[in-house]
Amino acid sequence: MSKLNFIVMLFLLFPSSSLAQNFSVKGNTLDYNSIVDGVSFDISWEDVEELKSTLLKNPKISKLNLTSKGGDLYASREMANLVIDFELDTNVIEECSSACVFVFLGGNRRTMQRGSKLGFHQTTWKASNIEAYYNATKEDEGWESVFDFASWIVDDTQKEVLIDFEYYLERNVSGKFAIKTLQATSDDMWHPRRKELEDAGVIVE
């Protein structure tokens, strides 16, 4: 079982509580806000389904406003695929950090409201989730010990970094900037200034 399939399975068993209140349509603009009543919800697979459904029901939508502190990496990648497929522009309001950045980069025209910020850091995998994944898949994967699993993690991590790096290049973000996003830890979010974001091709007016 792949990591992606495992995460989707967990979503089906334990759906998030953010619900569709994250989304609101205003003319040709769709607002996505995962900070509801001061509570920050993770981007989830539920959001993926709601985004797709909303776009199909509202073909005139051409812009996606984003306010989020991030969430599930794989769900964010799928949201980004939808943004690309529907050829949307993206815009940051207040904050778009962590996995939210992948959704933002899917936009054709990418803007950021004055006073807002984009936040970058290395991807992470919680120890409890690693343990759950190992216990659920070790027989199928043939891991005879945690050392076999650790070896797999090294290979998988390198593949994930390459996927992210290729995505940055696909979205015309400079390679130098993409490398810098790997330097900030999850506890040390990097918020580049607007000029650096523009020079790197992250913001595209």
pLDDT digits (tens, 9 = 90+) for 144-203: 999 999 999 999 999 999 999 999 999 999 999 999 998 887 678 999 999 999 999 999
pTM metric for this prediction: 0.85
Query: Is 65 exposed, middle or buried (CB count within 10 Å of its CB: 0-12, 13-18, 19+)?
Result: buried
**pLDDT at residue 30 greater than cutoff 50:** yes
Q: What are phi and psi of 60, to 5 degrees?
A: -85, -10
Instruction: Count the Cβ atoms, other than its own, within 10 Å of residue 176.
Output: 9
Cα gap 80→103, rounded to integer Å: 4
140: Cβ contacts below 8 Å, ≥ 6 apart:
1
Asked if 103 and 79 count as a contact pair (C-beta separation under 8 A), the reply is yes
Question: Mean pLDDT, to the nearest integer, of 43-66?
Answer: 97
Cα gap 60→179, rounded to integer Å: 36
**pLDDT at residue 49 greater than cutoff 70:** yes
Confidence (pLDDT) at 108: 98
In order of 6, 21, 105, the CA distances from 25 in angstroms are 32, 11, 21
pLDDT digits (tens, 9 = 90+) for 78-125: 999 999 999 999 999 999 999 999 999 999 999 999 999 999 998 888
Residue position matching structure tokens 């994250």: 22
- Would you give the distance in Å from CA 146 to the centre of its chain? 29
